[in-house]
Copies of this chain bind each other. A is one copy, B any other.
Amino acid sequence: MNWKTAAAQKTVDTIRVLSAEAVERAQSGHPGMPMGAADFALVLWAGHLRFDPADPNWPNRDRFILSSGHGSMLLYSLLHLFGFPLTLEDIKSFRQWGSRTPGHPEHGITPGVETTTGPLGQGFANGVGMALAQKLIAARVNTDKFPILDHRVYAIVSDGDIMEGVTAEAASLAGHLGLGNLIYLYDDNDITIEGDRNLAFSDDTRRRFEALHWQVLPADGHDRDAVDAALRAARAETGRPSLIMCKTRIGFGCPHKCGAADVHGAPLGADELKATRAGLCWNYPEFFIPAEAYDFCREAARDKIAAAAAWRQTMADFRRQEPERAKLFNALVNGELPADLEERALAAVDQKPVATRKASGQILQALSPAIPALFGGSADLHPSTNTLIKKQPLIGPGRFEGRNLHFGIREHAMAGMANGMALSGLIPYVGTFMVFSDYMRPSVRLAALMKLRVIYVFTHDSIFVGEDGPTHQPVEHVAALRLIPNLHLFRPADGPETAIAWTAALRRLHGPTALALTRQTVPALDRARYAPADGARRGGYVLGGADEPGIILMASGSELPIAAAAFEELEKRGVKARLISMPCLELFDEQDEAYRRSVLPPACRRRVAIEAGRSTSWHKYTGLDGLILGLDRFGASAPASVLAREFGFYPEAALAAIGRAYPEFAP
Contacts and interface: CB of A to CB of B under 8 A. Distances in A.
A351 to B, nearest CB: 29
B95 A637 contact: yes
Nearest to A117: B471
Contact of A480 (B208, B408, B480, B642): B480
Nearest to A192: B380
Contact of A471 (B116, B410, B469, B623): B116
Contacts of A439: 119, 164, 441-442
Given A104-B471, A467-B28, A409 B449 contact: no
Interface stretch (A199-207, A296-304, A571-579): A199-207
Interface stretch (A145-153, A209-217, A318-326): A209-217
A663 interface: no
Contacts of A469: 95, 102-104, 106, 118
A167 interface: yes
A366 interface: no
A80 interface: no
Given A409-B160, A409-B192, A29 B470 contact: no
Nearest to A585: B616
A605 interface: yes
A92 interface: no
A6 interface: no
A407 interface: yes
Copies per complex of this chain: 2
Interface string A395-438: 01100000000111110110000000000000000000001101
A518 interface: no
Contacts of A166: 165
Contacts of A486: 633-634
Contacts of A638: 95-98
A169 interface: yes
Contact of A119 (B212, B435, B482): B435
A546 interface: no
A476 B207 CA distance: 39
A8 to B, nearest CB: 32
Given A103-B472, A118-B469, A471-B118, A200 B212 contact: no
Interface string A479-496: 110111110000000000
A446 interface: yes
A466 interface: yes
A226 interface: no
A212 B204 CA distance: 6
A520 interface: no
Contacts of A312: none
A159 B379 CA distance: 12
Interface string A15-39: 0000000000010110000000000
Contacts of A69: 471
Contacts of A409: 120, 159-160, 163-164, 192, 200
Nearest to A619: B619
Contacts of A208: 208, 211-212
A384 B205 CA distance: 27
Given A211-B207, A476-B483, A412 B165 contact: yes
A625 B622 CA distance: 11
Nearest to A600: B624
A175 interface: yes
A173 interface: yes
Interface string A73-104: 00000000000000000000001111100111
A201 B380 CA distance: 11
Contact of A475 (B204, B482, B485): B485
A621 to B, nearest CB: 8
A526 interface: no
A213 B207 contact: no
A382 interface: yes
A175 B436 CA distance: 27
Nearest to A411: B164
Contacts of A407: 200
A431 to B, nearest CB: 11
Contacts of A472: 103-104, 118-119
A173 B117 CA distance: 25
Contact of A97 (B442, B471, B475, B636): B636
Given A438-B445, A467-B29, A480-B483, A199 B394 contact: yes
Nearest to A207: B211
Contact of A438 (B95, B165, B441, B605): B441
B168 A169 contact: yes
Given A163-B172, A164-B165, A638-B96, A485 B624 contact: no
Contacts of A172: 163, 201, 203
Give the 9 A-B residue pairs with the shortest CB-CB distance, closest first.
Answer: A165-B165, A168-B168, A200-B408, A102-B637, A623-B624, A118-B471, A97-B638, A207-B211, A619-B619
Given A96-B639, A172-B203, A200-B407, 14 more contacts: A95-B637, A97-B636, A116-B471, A119-B472, A164-B169, A164-B410, A164-B439, A194-B381, A199-B396, A199-B408, A200-B408, A203-B211, A480-B480, A485-B633
10 contacts: A99-B637, A118-B471, A120-B409, A175-B202, A192-B409, A202-B397, A207-B210, A210-B211, A436-B442, A623-B623
Interface of A: 26, 28-29, 69-70, 95-99, 102-104, 106, 116-120, 159-160, 163-169, 172-173, 175-176, 192-195, 199-208, 210-213, 378, 380-384, 394, 396-397, 406-410, 412-413, 435-436, 438-439, 441-442, 445-446, 448-449, 466-472, 475-476, 479-480, 482-486, 602, 605, 614, 616-617, 619-620, 623-625, 632-634, 636-639, 642-643, 646
